[in-house]
Amino acid sequence: MEQLESEWKAEIEKQAAIAQEHQKKVDELVSERDGHLETIRKDVEDALKEVHQAEITRLLAEHESKINEIKRDNILQRDRERESVEAKHQQALSELKASHQEALAQLSEKHSVQLQEALAATNDGASHDLSKQMEAVNEKHGAALKELAEKHEQQLRESESKAQQDFETTITELKEAHSQELNDLSAKLSAASANGDQM
For the chain, the domains span 2-159
For residue 81, count CB atoms less than 10 angstroms from its CB and return exposed for 0-12, middle for 13-18, buried for 19 or more.
Answer: middle
Q: What is the pLDDT of residues 75-93, one digit of tens each?
A: 666 666 667 766 777 777 7
Q: How far apart are CA 64 and CA 132, in angstroms?
A: 34
Q: What is the pLDDT of residue 189?
A: 61
- Which residues are within 8 A (CB) of 85 and not within 5 positions of it... i.e. 6 or more apart? 77, 163, 166, 167, 170
Q: What is the pLDDT of residues 172-199, one digit of tens each?
A: 777 787 677 676 766 666 665 555 444 4
Q: How far apart are CA 30 and CA 188, in angstroms?
A: 100
59 with 145: CB under 8 angstroms? yes
Q: Is the pTM of this model over 0.75?
A: no
Residue ranges, the chain, pLDDT below 70: 1-8, 11, 30, 34-35, 67, 70-71, 73-82, 85-86, 118-119, 121-131, 133-134, 137, 178, 181, 183, 185-199
- Taking Cα atoms as reference points, which of 49, 4, 48, 33 lies closest to residue 125? 33
